[in-house]
Amino acid sequence: MLEITQALRVVVICADPERAGREPASCATLLSELGSRVTLGRFDLGGLDLEALADKPPTVVVVEAADDMQRAHKAIQKLRDSGPLVEVPILLAITVARLPSLDFSLGFDDFVLMPIVPAELYERMRQLDWKSATFGSDEVIKIDDLLIDIAGYEAKIAGRRIDLTHQEFELLRFLAQHRGRVFTRQALLERAWGYQYAGGTRTVDIHVRRVRSKLGVTGELIETVRNVGYKMRG
């Protein structure tokens, strides 16, 4: 099941917040089901505690326009003019019928089509979350084109997902979290996979080779330190 990191806080602005909170296909409902924490407000920003949002800004604001582009545009203007949400990324949700009139100069950062497909909404939210650098350093690690999403348990290179086994991902994650430090094979065996992992130190070599192969040119980030072990280039 898809699940957005629990650190993701979202403000959803729509025509009828009360109805949106009950509607199974609304952005608010779907985002809640994906694991995010949702606050609802109206197009005029009514219903929002702006003072509280100033202390703890959301990760993304979703403007659920549907077909009402005029009020959605005014809402985006309000968000961009002033207040605690001025720099927060905006995801615009519109119907297919409004797609030909889509204009990025309105001030939103990305869009998603209604009816909402949960998997697409998930990816859009995560992308905006990453771009705004609101993931904690312990949840997402970015090194050049390599992105390691610890919360989502996946790795990507230039947006392309890399198919890693559990052991391969844990090895990559551990080295990336300790960039510049050299670890012996025994240390990697114990610290990346745990003392109970049934495998010898040569197993580490095998997994390093596989990870490098899957990363392609980016695999050069993992360096061999002769007679010692491995490290991730800092």
Residues of the chain with pLDDT > 70: what percent? 90
| Cβ contact 108:76 at 8 Å | yes
Cα separation values, 87 from 49, 61, 64, 82, 144, Å: 17, 10, 18, 9, 25
Supply the DSSP string of 89-119, one letter for each residue. -EEEEEEGGGGGG--GGGS-SEEEEES--HH
Cross-strand pairs, 148 = 141, 155
Query: What residue spans of the chain are helical by DSSP H?
Result: 17-22, 27-33, 50-55, 69-81, 118-131, 166-177, 185-193, 201-215
pLDDT one-digit tens code per residue, 121-153: 888 887 787 666 444 445 788 888 888 988 788
What's the CA gap between 19 and 159, in Å, rounded?
36
DSSP 163-183: ---HHHHHHHHHHHHTTT--E
Superfamily of domain 9-131: Response regulator (3.40.50.2300)
User: What integer best gives the mean pLDDT of the chain?
Assistant: 86
| Lowest mean pLDDT segment, chosen from 20-24, 50-54, 163-167, 201-205 | 50-54
Question: Which pTM value belongs to this model?
Answer: 0.57
- Domain boundaries along the sequence of the chain: 9-131, 140-232
- Reply yes or no on domain 140-232 having CATH 1.10.760.10: no
Whether the Cβ atoms of residue 144 and residue 215 lie closer than 8 Å to each other: no
